[in-house]
């Protein structure tokens, strides 16, 4: 490990690029933990490169010589003209670093040394695999030591010897500010919460529906969390006494408020693990009453969900949805819930459709939940599934049309 100034780091990056003689791939922490100081150094030093990030936020370099590469598209890459989207379940992304997406440089945002190690903090995810693959092929690992990054237990601890260079630069982490749940989201949240028993294991995402489910979930007891992402909702549940005080809160990355980040710092109750562990369907299924709560853009009468594309344009990606749906369905007492509005107000269209015309993200959910009600899916025949979706999940204004479509598809 060698400590460098930002100016010296730029010279080192330029030198490594000249030696490589090809367009390098740079893997950078995403999900609100972007090491912006390092990204600026990369941008100032490389004439061309491939920038790999998961769920990249705004403020990325956007010139033609920078290819935006990802397996999950965030707002910073969503409309990029250079976007290179690589479809992959999140649990399988680490394999790509040893095959088609080998990294030349890895840039990390880490907490200062504690107990002899840095910590990747809020963003562990696919980064340990990226570091391992990069070092195995003689690449460069650079750490931005950031006092604003919480130090977390789990798989994100980084031995200083594994970082070739470090730069000290304190920067705030991104803090999302989700809108207050509207009436439809509150209704969905109440229906979701009603299905969660005491002692269940939760996969909680971020957004209006998970936030809206908190009031009902706060009354539960003995809950545990095994979730790809968790946000302030987990802190709310903990303060309400809903979480099992003897159980570990487990995630792969964290995105929330400064209050959450402060709670996270050096908290032994929390484990932030690598993606291969958290998103393993086998490990997910081992949890009692695993309840996976996901959302989609559309669900069709065959129970197929599109959560990735709008008008053939990639909007996000598979993410961990497929991992958690499969894992939850194999859990004893588990359930995979698809929660969404019945009607998209901006697009003025139904989210329950006859057949999705985009690639399918997931299918075979336990139930589909909208503000209209709960459509039971798993274990029913296809006609019953379609009828449940139409009568219990679809908006009333589209039901007659859906019945006609169902008849044409042989579902009625």
Cα(325)–Cα(228) distance, rounded to whole angstroms? Answer: 12
Strands (E) in 121-248, as ranges, are: 140-145, 153-154, 157-158, 165-168, 201-203, 224-230
* Residue 7, pLDDT score: 73
pLDDT grade, residue 18 (50/70/90)? low
Q: Tell me whether strands 49-52 and 25-28 are parallel, antiparallel or unpaired.
A: parallel
Map tokens 């367009």 to a residue. 23
pLDDT grade, residue 21 (50/70/90)? low
Read off the pLDDT of each residue in 78-102 and give the average, rounded to a whole number: 96
- Adjacent-strand bridge partners of 368: 338, 375
Looking at the domain covering 2-168, what would its CATH class be?
A: alpha beta
Give the architecture-level CATH label for domain 183-408: 3-Layer(aba) Sandwich (3.40)
* Cα–Cα nearest to 11, from 50, 42, 39, 36: 42
Cα(190)–Cα(183) distance, rounded to whole angstroms? Answer: 11
Q: Is 183-408 the same fold as 2-168?
A: yes
pLDDT grade, residue 15 (50/70/90)? confident
pLDDT grade, residue 317 (50/70/90)? confident
Cα(142)–Cα(39) distance, rounded to whole angstroms? Answer: 11
Q: Is 244 in contact with 302 (CB distance < 8 Å)?
A: no
- 82 φ/ψ angles, rounded to the nearest 5 degrees: -105, 10
Lowest mean pLDDT among 72-86, 186-200, 202-216, 306-320: 202-216
Give pTM, 2 decimals: 0.93
Read off the pLDDT of each residue in 59-74 and give the average, rounded to a whole number: 95
Query: Apex CA 299: angle with CA 207 and CA 302, to 5°?
Result: 150
HSE of 303, CA atoms in CB hemisphere, 13 A: 23
Read off the pLDDT of each residue in 145-153 and give the average, rounded to a whole number: 98
- Computed over every residue of the chain, the mean pLDDT equals 93
The active-site residue out of 228, 276, 371, 405 is: 228
Q: Which of 7-11, 184-188, 387-391 has the highest mean pLDDT?
A: 387-391
What are the structural domain ranges in the chain? 2-168, 183-408
Cα(318)–Cα(168) distance, rounded to whole angstroms? Answer: 35
Q: What is the pLDDT of residues 110-142, one digit of tens each?
A: 999 999 999 999 999 999 999 999 999 999 999
pLDDT at residue 4 is higher than 70: no
Q: What is the pLDDT of residues 229-246, one digit of tens each?
A: 999 999 999 999 999 999
pLDDT grade, residue 20 (50/70/90)? low
Q: Is 379 in contact with 192 (CB distance < 8 Å)?
A: no
Q: Is 382 a catalytic residue?
A: no
Q: What is the pLDDT of residues 24-58, one digit of tens each?
A: 999 999 999 999 999 999 999 999 999 999 999 99
Q: What is the 3-state secondary structure (H, E, C) of 188-217?
A: HHHHHHHCCCCCCEEECCCCHHHHHHHHHH
Q: What is the pLDDT of residues 357-374, one digit of tens each?
A: 988 888 899 999 999 999
Structure tokens at 6: 């930002």
- Adjacent-strand bridge partners of 111: 119
- Adjacent-strand bridge partners of 402: none
Q: Which residues of 349-360 are buried (b: 16+ CB within 10 A; e: fewer)?
A: ebbbbbebebeb
Q: What is the pLDDT of residues 251-279, one digit of tens each?
A: 999 999 999 999 999 999 999 999 999 99
């Amino acid at each position: 490990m060698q400590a460098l100034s930002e100016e010296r780091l730029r010279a080192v990056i330029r030198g490594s690029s000249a030696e490589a003689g090809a367009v390098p791939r740079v893997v950078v922490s995403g999900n609100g933990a972007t090491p912006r100081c390092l990204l600026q150094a990369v941008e100032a030093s490389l004439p061309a490169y491939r920038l790999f990030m998961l769920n990249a936020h705004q403020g990325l370099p956007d010139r033609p010589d920078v290819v935006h590469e990802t397996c999950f598209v965030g707002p910073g890459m969503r409309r990029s003209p250079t976007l290179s989207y690589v479809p992959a379940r999140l649990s399988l992304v680490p394999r790509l670093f040893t095959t088609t997406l080998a990294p030349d440089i890895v840039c990390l945002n880490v907490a200062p040394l504690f107990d002899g190690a840095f910590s990747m903090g809020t963003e562990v995810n696919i980064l340990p695999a990226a570091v391992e693959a990069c070092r195995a092929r003689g690449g460069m690992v650079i750490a931005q030591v950031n006092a604003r990054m919480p130090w977390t237990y789990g798989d994100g601890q980084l031995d200083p010897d594994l970082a070739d260079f470090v730069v000290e630069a304190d920067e705030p982490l991104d803090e999302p500010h989700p809108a207050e749940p509207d009436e439809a989201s509150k209704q969905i949240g109440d229906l979701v919460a009603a299905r969660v028993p005491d002692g269940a294991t939760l996969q909680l995402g971020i957004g209006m529906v998970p936030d809206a489910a908190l009031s009902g979930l706060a009354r539960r007891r003995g809950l545990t969390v095994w979730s790809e992402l968790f946000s302030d909702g987990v802190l709310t549940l903990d303060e309400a006494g809903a979480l099992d005080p003897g159980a570990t809160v487990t995630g792969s990355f964290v995105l929330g408020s400064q209050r959450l980040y402060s709670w996270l710092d050096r908290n032994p109750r929390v484990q932030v693990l690598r993606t291969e562990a958290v998103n393993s369907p086998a490990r997910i299924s081992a949890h009692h009453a695993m309840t996976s709560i996901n959302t989609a853009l559309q669900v069709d009468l065959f129970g197929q969900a599109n959560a990735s594309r709008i008008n053939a344009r990639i909007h996000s990606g598979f993410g961990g949805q497929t991992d958690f749906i499969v894992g939850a369905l194999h859990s004893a007492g588990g359930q995979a819930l698809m929660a969404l509005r019945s009607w998209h107000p901006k697009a003025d269209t139904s989210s329950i459709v006859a057949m999705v015309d985009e690639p399918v993200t997931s299918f075979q959910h336990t139930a589909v939940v909208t503000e209209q009600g709960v459509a039971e899916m798993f274990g029913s025949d296809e006609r019953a599934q379609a009828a449940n979706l139409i009568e219990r999940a679809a908006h009333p204004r589209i039901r007659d049309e859906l019945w006609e479509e169902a008849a044409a598809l042989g579902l009625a």
